[in-house]
Amino acid sequence: MGFLKLYFYIIFILLIFLEGCFPSVIKLNVKPDPDPYTMFGKIPSRDFFVPISISDSLKLKWKKDINGGITNSTVTIYNSYLFINDLSGWITCLDVNTGKQLGQLKDKGAIFSSPIINNNTLIYPIALNNENYSLLNYYNLRTGEPIFKIKIIDKIISELIQTKDGVIFVTLSGNVYKYNYNGSKVWETETKVRTHCSPAMNNGIVIFGNDNGEVIGLNSYNGNVIFKNKIGYIFTNSVSISDSTAFLGDKNGTLYAVSLKNGKVIWKVETGSEIVSTPVFNNENVFVGNLGGRFFAIEIGNGKTIWLTKLNGVINATPLLTNNYLIIPNLDGQLDFVETLNGKIIKRFILPSHARLTPLYFRNTLFIGYDNDILEAYEIVK
C-alpha cells in the first residue's frame, strides 16, 4: 500500500511539473488580412448575418480537443490562424484549414471573451481565480512575447468591442473602459450597477443593459452618458444593433427594440422564457431564441411575430443567420438548420455533447464547439 501511495504521488507531481513546463507561447508570421473575423459578431454592432445561401450538407474537415470550458463566444480568425478562448485560462491557436495546433497561452483564470486581433497584437482579458480583478493582456504574435498586462479591478466576463483606435469593455460591477492599442486608458465611466450584458456599438454610441433592467448609452469617444433608461428586468445577453435600433433580451424573456439615439423602447415582444443568446437580424427581421426552446422571427419595423418554432433544447448560444437558414445550436446536443422564411426545421444534427460555441461561418467552413471541449470545422458541401 505504501508503494502504491508513493507511485501515485510521483505521478501527481510529474503531471504538475509537465503542466508547468508546457510552453505558453504563440509565435506567428502575421500578414495583413483584408477580411478578418477579429471579435464577437465581427463588427462593433454585432452582425451574425452572412448574406449567402448554403446547403444543409456538412463534411467534417477536422476535430480538435482543446483544454476545457468552451463559452458562448466565437472563435476569431486572422489570415490562416484561428484563436479560441476557454474557461480554464487558455488561448489556443490553430491552423484554420487543418486544425493543427500552432501554440497556446496559459493564464491562471478564466477567459470569457473572444480574443481580439489588431494586426500582430492579440488582446484578451482574463478574470483571475479567487481575485477581484482581471488582466487585459496585449500579446505580440510576431515575437511571441507579452507586451502589456493591465490590471483592471473587477471581473471582465462580457465580450469586447474592437474599434479603430482601441477596445471597449464592461466589467461585472458596471465600469466601462476604453483602452487604446498602446495600452493607455482613454476613458473610464462608472455606472455603479452590476452588469452581465455585453455591449455593442454603432454611430459612436456604446449601448448595453444591466442587472437593474436599465439600458445605457455612452459616447464612444469620451465615455459620457447619453441616456440611462429603466425599461425591463435583468439583461444577461449581448446587444446587437441594426442601423439605429438596438436589440436586447431580459431574464423575463422580453425582447426589446430600443432607439440608439435616446434609449427609448420602440417595441417589445414577450417570448415566455429568459433570453441569453444574442438577437440576430437581416434587412427585414430579427431572430431570437430563449431558454425554453422557442425561436422567433420578428419584423424589425413593428415587432410583429412572423413565425414561432418550438425547438427541443435550451437555446443559449447565438445562432448563425444566412439567406436561407438559421443554424441554431442548443444545450441538448442538437444543431438545427431552420428555414428563415417559415421557421421549418430542415435538418437536425445530433451532436456528441452540449453545444456551447456560437457557430461561425468563414470561407465555406462552419465552426462549432461542444461542452466536452471539442472544436470542429465542417466544410459546407455545395
Q: How far apart are CA 338 and CA 224, in angstroms?
A: 41
Model pTM above 0.75? yes
Cα→Cα distances 33→37, 38, 266, 377, 378, Å = 9, 10, 38, 20, 22
Cell of 341: 422564411
> Do 49 and 92 touch, CB atoms closer than 8 A?
no
The pLDDT confidence band at residue 2, using thresholds 50, 70 and 90, is low
Q: Tens of pLDDT along 65-89?
A: 988 788 889 999 999 999 999 999 9
Q: Is the pLDDT of residue 18 over 50?
A: no
| Secondary structure class of 314 (helix, strand, coil) | coil
> Do 93 and 104 touch, CB atoms closer than 8 A?
yes
Q: Is the pLDDT of residue 105 over 80?
A: yes
> Do 209 and 275 touch, CB atoms closer than 8 A?
no
pLDDT (0 to 100) of residue 22: 56
The pLDDT confidence band at residue 355, using thresholds 50, 70 and 90, is confident
Q: Which tops the pLDDT comparison, 11 or 347? A: 347
pLDDT (0 to 100) of residue 4: 45
What is the percentage of the chain residues whose pLDDT exceeds 70? 94
Q: Is the pLDDT of residue 14 over 80?
A: no
pLDDT (0 to 100) of residue 301: 95
The pLDDT confidence band at residue 118, using thresholds 50, 70 and 90, is very high
Which domains can be identified in the chain, with CATH numbers? 37-380 (2.130.10.10)
Q: Tens of pLDDT along 181-218?
A: 999 999 999 999 999 999 999 999 999 999 999 999 99
pLDDT (0 to 100) of residue 312: 83
| Secondary structure class of 141 (helix, strand, coil) | coil
> Do 123 and 26 touch, CB atoms closer than 8 A?
no
